[in-house]
Structure 1
Amino acid sequence: MFVNNPNIKLPEDPNTIVWKYMDLSKFLDILISGKMFMSRSDKFEDQYEGTFSEPTFEEIKKISENNPKFLDYYKSHRENVVISSWHTNEYESFAMWQIFTKNNEGLAIQSTIGRLKEALNAERSFEQYIGEVNYIDYKKEHIPFDDAFFPFLFKRKSFQYENEIRIISDVSANKIAIDNGLKIDVDINKLIEKIYIHPKSENWYKKLVIEVVSKLGFNFSVEKSDLESDILI
């Protein structure tokens, strides 16, 4: 279920548009299972996930001199935090198509902040929070640590193009061991507003996606990417 945390920054407008780019197999897994995958934070490609900037780390080291468990907690905490990443943008992103899809196939889920909140209420075992990622200079800028989620809501400036919103959950209290990640229940009809098909895909691919969505009993619209609209000249 979605839980509001006043410490976590989030766009105020519930109609803020968010996107998730993926291949067809991951999309089908969501539709068939009714669940969304959240990746364990220390399994991301970026090794800095859930860590601190240099100024913050120096501060934590001083605190840990008299309390070693303080630093140990932050190190082990990464194994208990799971994340689902979304891209904030009013429009499609050419860069996101390039990074997250292959072979001119794939699709993008279009949703909104408000829809994400509603969709997450289908999950009853794990609490989810939604937060905006801050992009900073890890050599110079400070990451606050008065909230356990803050290390997971900051990234290096090199990733600023991601313009990321994160669904984030801490499973520590559930006392479970997670491997690569965790699947949580979601309301698919709330989660998905529209589906956009890869701009370079063939017509048969769009027809396939439409047919699969229909046979599984969903009625959200499926559209070809706007990046491949007809040229006016």
Structure 2
Amino acid sequence: MFQMHPAIDTPADETILWRYMNLERFLALLHARALYLARLDSFVDPWEGVWPNTVVQALKSEAGEFSHYGTILEAAAKLKYGSFVSCWHASSTESAALWDLYSGKSGVAIRSTVKALKRALSFPASFFIGSVRYLDFDKEAVPVGNMLVLPFLKRKSFEHEKEVRVLYWDPKRVDWNNPEAGESGIAMEVDPAVLIDEVYLSPASPDWLLKPLEELCVKFGFDVPVIRSSLYDKQVY
């Protein structure tokens, strides 16, 4: 079930969201009727789920003993192995950069809203939806004391992503002796008909792919607009 939390900045229900993916991932979503949430350490950015340097320095100066400081940071480092997220792009328009990064020539993007995401997801445990905060990790401070904040912090270099995340956090899933040995991701049940407002086909895709994609959606039982992105179409005078 979706849950609000004061430490997490939940975007407004009307916020438009995009999820860029390859065709295989889209097919998996329709077939399994599930949204895949990847474990936080599986992303390319090695700073996922870590405290900014400002927090680290504050802990070092306040801890008194190195052992206490080490315990806090070690716990935070291991707890990220219990964090599972699905990443969305908040924007009223398509993103050329994200098309290129995540979808390829046969990729798709699904268009949704925060409200639809809340309604479409079904999970027995609590999950959260929040906007990522982009910080200068060497200068900007954040409140310490709530581990739920960490999955929603990224460096300013990633600000173009305008990311909204679905987070499921469960410390019980962490193997404290070997945290990397746990599950690499989880599946969260989703209703595609509620989640998806429109399906966009990559602007780099061949024209013939549009019809099979429309038929694929119908085959799986939901009728939504399927649009080939015109982002790279030439201007016609």
Partner of 2:75: 73
Q: Residues 174 and 74 of structure 1: is their aligned pair in 2 closer, same or farther, counting only changes over 3 Å?
A: closer
Query: Which whole-Å CA distance do the structure 2 matches of 1:96 and 1:41 have between them?
Result: 19
1:82 maps to which of 77, 84, 87: 84
- Structure 1 position 8, deviation (Å): 1.0
Is 1:22 the counterpart of 2:26? The answer is no
Query: Which whole-Å CA distance do the structure 1 matches of 2:170 and 2:182 have between them?
Result: 9
1:48-87 superposed Cα distances (whole Å, 9 cap, x missing partner): 0000111101223343746353332211101000111000
2:48 counterpart letter in structure 1? E
Is 1:213 the counterpart of 2:214? The answer is no
Task: Tell me the TM-score normalised to structure 1 length.
Answer: 0.91
Q: Which moved more, 1:142-151 or 1:40-49?
A: 142-151
SS at match of 1:99: helix
Tell me if structure 2 keeps the 8 A contact 1:145–1:151. Answer: no
5 Å-filtered alignment, 1:1-233, equals 1-12=1-12, 14-61=13-60, 62-63=62-63, 65=66, 67=68, 68-102=70-104, 104-120=105-121, 122-124=122-124, 126-173=125-172, 178-228=182-232, 231-233=235-237
Q: How many residues are matched?
A: 229
Aligned-residue Cα RMSD (Å) equals 1.8
Query: Which whole-Å CA distance do the structure 2 matches of 1:158 and 1:205 have between them?
Result: 34
1:70-126 superposed Cα distances (whole Å, 9 cap, x missing partner): 332211101000111000100111111011122x21010100011111112x211x3
Tell me if structure 1 keeps the 8 A contact 2:81–2:174. Answer: no
SS at match of 1:227: coil
Tell me if structure 2 keeps the 8 A contact 1:143–1:151. Answer: no
1:69 counterpart letter in structure 2? T
Query: Which whole-Å CA distance do the structure 1 matches of 2:173 and 2:15 have between them?
Result: 31
Structure 1's unaligned 5+ residue stretches are none
SS at match of 1:190: helix
Tell me if structure 1 keeps the 8 A contact 2:173–2:182. Answer: no
Query: Which whole-Å CA distance do the structure 1 matches of 2:28 and 2:85 have between them?
Result: 17
Query: Which whole-Å CA distance do the structure 2 matches of 1:19 and 1:164 have between them?
Result: 10
